[in-house]
Chains A and B, each alone.
Chain A
Amino acid sequence: MVNNSVLVIGGGIAGIQSSLDLANMGFKVYLVEKSPSIGGRMAQLDKTFPTNDCAMCILAPKMIEASQHPNIELITYSEIEKVSGEVGNFRVKVKKKATYVDWDKCTGCGECTQMEVDGAREFEGEIWVDRVKIDEGSCIQCGECTQACVEENKEKHAITNVVFERRNFTELPPEERVGREPETLAQRIALMDEKSRMDFWQKELSKCIKCFGCRDACPVWVYDGAELEDAEWITPGEIPPAVPLFQIIRAYRIAGLCVNCGMCEEACPMDIPLRAIHQLMWRQPPESVFEIIPGLDAETKEKLVQAVRKQPKAEKKQPAAKREGRK
């Protein structure tokens, strides 16, 4: 039996054009693309050879046509796993990756990408929350995007599958919670409210016996002595050293250099989860990892920040106008 349908692999300009031609010829077309959106390389170009036409001017109408064509079914953010059968009757196994977005409901408002999470910033050119998917590797499951979606689209919110949302685990009583508990420590810390986060660090950092193992083992710690050995900052001979000042200074010092190799945690005789600090600091400025510095007024805190921070302050994302209104 010959099936009257075609599978096109790759949603670049070639894939889109082929799909459109085939669809117009009356074939049912499945267009599979591994990234979240079709468009491919051409979408990244400015002008095209040899006519110097604007690339997007050619591509955009085709992309829209492909997405709305009754004969084309877009399968984005998916990859081919297995192809079997023979000419005229192929069986293809497609792996559709989770985006945690319900495409039937998504209005494309883009609100989910606009919210600012505790000063979320770009890290090495990679934006933490991507346009139409949640990157499982980067997500710390704060739940802010869900909240933005819910608030924007009250009736039909699209981000439905964020399983570890902050509200779920911090605001709802246990019996009403759904989904899995957060898995990594950094996720759990990110989900904590301000008070429990502070209590958590208080408890963990109080274990410190000031052996300087975290500092000595650190491959990117290049400072000689510095504030950790300065009586102005850290009282000598005190155990535990000022919580969390000691760890904040250490963390600030290596904020941009840390590769999260974990040697600090490995070297800690008291098993303080130091890796979590650095994991969080990749996504958040150090001061918000700890939420607040107990016992320090704003001025001193600012002084501390200025004194120990080597790299320029990370630019915070400008919140959208609407978002400000919401807050």
Chain B
Amino acid sequence: MNSDFILTVCPFCGCGCQFYLQVLDNEITGVVPCKTDEISEGKPCIKGRNAADFINHPDRLKSPLAKRNGKFEPISWDEALNIVTKQLGEKKQKYGADSVGVLASAKCTNEENFLMMKFARTVIGTNNVDHCARLCHASTVVGLAKAFGSGAMTNSIPEVEGSDCIFVIGSNTIEQHPLIGSRVLRAKEKGAKLIVADPRRTPIVQFADVYLPHKPGTDVCLLNGIMNLILSWDLADKDFIAQQTEGFEELEKKVKEYPPERVCEITGVDQAALENAARIYGEAERASILYAMGITQHTTGTDNVESCANLAMLTGNVGRESTGVNPLRGQNNVQGACDMGALPNVYSGYQSVTDGKARAKFEKAWGVKLPEKVGLTVTEMTDAALKGPLKAMYIMGENPMLSDPDINHVKKALSSLDFLVVQDIFLSETAQFAHVVLPGCSFAEKEGTFTATDRRVQRVRKAIEPIGDSKPDWLIISELAKKMGGKGFDYKSAEEIMEEIAQLTPSYAGISYDRLDNGEVLAWPCASKEHPGTRFLHKDAFVRGKGRFFAVDYKEPAELPDKEYPFILTTGRLMFQYHTGTMTRRIPALERELPTGFVEINTIDAKKLSIAQGEKVKVKSRRGEIEIKALVTDGIRPGVVFIPFHFAECAANELTGRNIDPEAKIPEFKVCAVKVSKGGKHG
């Protein structure tokens, strides 16, 4: 009998809690909290506690599958890789490299994302590589990079505890990042003030000193209003603005156009509350902004992010401990997948593909000519598939059939592909459309690293042998690459890939398995073997030199309610499920809590439509219609409805629209017009 405890990283949200997997004779018997872990302190949330339950699920893919006559049949690895090689090779020859699209995964390790990016760029020869960060924090990566020079969380998670004022906007922190939520409450116990802006009454609202229930999509206006008040009360940090920033005059001019009266009219918040929030934030010594999807998933996502950056710079709350602008990344390794360059416009470490010098460096290292043109994003890939230029896709660990906006559109796009290969651990909704399915490994069966939301790189360790015939994703990619004639894919272990990452990526240069295994906590930028990592960014000076203010104007969301579709639909996540539910819906403890979705609707609206609690209703938008249970509550603004997007049987994304932010290409998940009516089957 062999028993062991393997320290690894939670595969769910971006907090990056570490815990032990308890292994008995190559079988995982449970999760044991790790007391010495800095983030969880041995207190993981319910998802972490049950994280091991899906690993041995009977639904796990155990061998490669090929679709024949509409049915999946198990085939051998050789056969599967031969089909993929032949098909992708053919498409590349016939239609050019840009006819192939590749989706990397925020659920996979840094090493695998790096390989996927390398595979797309060297073997296929296209920059059409992206992943689901496009759907969550693309606007952060763009917006914060423009304002500060680095598109990541400026400070670390434990620092939240030391803030005087925490401004949570568009983040359901307690449900989605429980361990960050816990830090917020601790700060509050120590006397910090908490401001929450959210159209939905999420659990953190009850602890708020000031609650601003603004209308979805009016974030820029709200933030401009707060800045207007801070400027008029002379609470701005003039020294900081003068020494470290540029573009202040334009901003000053712009926010003058947002007096409180106008702001309150547009956003629907109470003027006294707005003034209160502005005073608390403006007067705080160490103020920290936490934001998430509520800011980013808009057609004005980049503007929203820039406004957050403006507010922080205006009051000098950047570059110091316990301050900053902190985007909370939703997935365990979405930060890492971005860092690794699984994006159409950059290589690892955000080195631009259009920059000749960076390209030359990667060409030299990899020994191939690299494409110059910026590739397609996730949202553009589905359009391209439908219109024709995109012929084949290789999707690793993603489920666009639930996560992307307007599922009916995605369905058409996926079915119109000539060839689709999906690499996943379960036969997801997307995998159903695949021609070939490759079985990957879960986090417990492979080595690698995840990068948490505060840029902390942590080791994922192998606890058990791969289930069935499945293989670690990095192995699959490198075998496929070798078969397709790719050079430089002879990796013996994940560690070798990390060495290559460190060589090519300045911000990861000092990160190695040796250091991580020695228990060092390394947050990038980590420039050399001696560098201790960086807990908070922009100390003394911004990464881009000077912080840039952007004067942004309030723009209305792309689709507003009208007579036919009178409600605003906003989507989001819940505590007990995770994203498209491929993993969490197979964990009994979580599925028991939340077996299916619901639509949250305000009591007043429900009364008008005579909808009872728990009744089945129809929710319809211009793109689709779903039948769903109603949850009548006071915790949401009248005129707004909320649907979680986890559930395939009542998928919120059947309704959402494809309007995207012009810069970040992020879809507007948070605002679309719908109508709600009685008349479900059981209604």
Q: Specify whether A and B are partners.
A: yes
Residue ranges of A at the interface with B (Cβ–Cβ < 8 Å): 206-207, 209-213, 216, 229, 236-237, 239-240, 266-271
Q: Given A211-B178, A239-B575, do A229 and B45 touch, yes or no (CB 8 Å)?
A: no
Contact in complex: A210, B575 (CB < 8 Å): yes
Residue B440 lies at the interface, judged by CB distance under 8 Å to chain A: no
Contacting residue for A210 out of B43, B46, B186, B189, CB 8 A: B46
B170-211: CB near A (< 8 Å → 1, else 0) gives 000011001101100110010000000000000100110000
Residue B592 lies at the interface, judged by CB distance under 8 Å to chain A: yes
Q: What are some 20 contacts across the A-B interface (CB < 8 A)?
A: A206-B203, A206-B206, A207-B207, A209-B46, A209-B174, A209-B575, A211-B43, A211-B45, A212-B589, A213-B44, A216-B49, A236-B594, A236-B595, A237-B575, A240-B203, A266-B42, A266-B43, A267-B43, A270-B174, A271-B189
Beyond known contacts A209-B174, A212-B49: 11 more, CB 8 A cutoff: A209-B45, A209-B175, A209-B178, A211-B45, A211-B178, A237-B574, A240-B203, A267-B42, A267-B43, A270-B178, A271-B182
- Chain B residues with Cβ below 8 Å from A267 are 33, 42-43
Residue B443 lies at the interface, judged by CB distance under 8 Å to chain A: no
- Chain B residues with Cβ below 8 Å from A239 are 174-175, 203, 575
Shortest Cβ distance from A213 into B: residue: B43
Contact in complex: A212, B42 (CB < 8 Å): no
Interface of B is mostly: helix
- Chain B residues with Cβ below 8 Å from A268 are 43
Contacting residue for B178 out of A216, A236, A237, A269, CB 8 A: A269
Contact in complex: B49, A213 (CB < 8 Å): yes
CB distance from B40 to the nearest CB of A (A): 7
Contacting residue for A212 out of B46, B189, B207, CB 8 A: B46
Contact in complex: B44, A211 (CB < 8 Å): yes
**Once the chains are docked, how many angstroms separate the CA of A266 from the CA of B574?**
25
**Once the chains are docked, how many angstroms separate the CA of A210 from the CA of B174?**
11
Contact in complex: A237, B182 (CB < 8 Å): no
CB distance from A102 to the nearest CB of B (A): 40
Residue B239 lies at the interface, judged by CB distance under 8 Å to chain A: no
CB distance from B107 to the nearest CB of A (A): 22
Q: For chain B, give the interface size range.
A: 20 to 34
- Chain A residues with Cβ below 8 Å from B576 are 237
CB distance from B478 to the nearest CB of A (A): 38
**Once the chains are docked, how many angstroms separate the CA of A268 from the CA of B49?**
12
Contact in complex: A211, B203 (CB < 8 Å): no
**Once the chains are docked, how many angstroms separate the CA of A239 from the CA of B46?**
12
Q: Given A209-B203, A239-B174, do A269 and B40 touch, yes or no (CB 8 Å)?
A: yes
**Once the chains are docked, how many angstroms separate the CA of A320 from the CA of B109?**
71
Shortest Cβ distance from B589 into A: residue: A212
**Once the chains are docked, how many angstroms separate the CA of A212 from the CA of B31?**
13
**Once the chains are docked, how many angstroms separate the CA of A212 from the CA of B46?**
7
Contact in complex: B593, A211 (CB < 8 Å): no
Shortest Cβ distance from B46 into A: residue: A211
**Once the chains are docked, how many angstroms separate the CA of A236 from the CA of B590?**
10
Contacting residue for B592 out of A207, A213, A229, CB 8 A: A229
Contact in complex: A269, B203 (CB < 8 Å): no
- Chain B residues with Cβ below 8 Å from A206 are 203, 206-207
Interface hub of A213, A229, A266, A269 (most chain B Cβ within 10 A): A269
Interface hub of B49, B175, B189, B207 (most chain A Cβ within 10 A): B49
CB distance from B29 to the nearest CB of A (A): 14
Contact in complex: B186, A211 (CB < 8 Å): no
- Chain B residues with Cβ below 8 Å from A212 are 46, 49, 589
CB distance from B592 to the nearest CB of A (A): 6
**Once the chains are docked, how many angstroms separate the CA of A213 from the CA of B178?**
13
Interface hub of A206, A211, A237, A240 (most chain B Cβ within 10 A): A237
- Chain B residues with Cβ below 8 Å from A210 are 46, 575, 593
Contact in complex: A269, B574 (CB < 8 Å): no
Contact in complex: B594, A269 (CB < 8 Å): no
- Chain A residues with Cβ below 8 Å from B46 are 209-213
Shortest Cβ distance from A211 into B: residue: B46
- Chain A residues with Cβ below 8 Å from B182 are 269-271
**Once the chains are docked, how many angstroms separate the CA of A37 from the CA of B40?**
52
Contact in complex: B185, A236 (CB < 8 Å): no
**Once the chains are docked, how many angstroms separate the CA of A267 from the CA of B185?**
16
Shortest Cβ distance from A208 into B: residue: B203
Shortest Cβ distance from B33 into A: residue: A267
Contact in complex: B592, A236 (CB < 8 Å): yes
- Chain B residues with Cβ below 8 Å from A269 are 40, 43-45, 178-179, 182
- Chain B residues with Cβ below 8 Å from A240 are 203
Interface hub of A207, A239, A268 (most chain B Cβ within 10 A): A239
**A-B residue pairs, 10 tightest by C-beta:** A269-B43, A237-B594, A211-B46, A237-B593, A236-B593, A211-B45, A269-B182, A239-B203, A209-B178, A270-B182
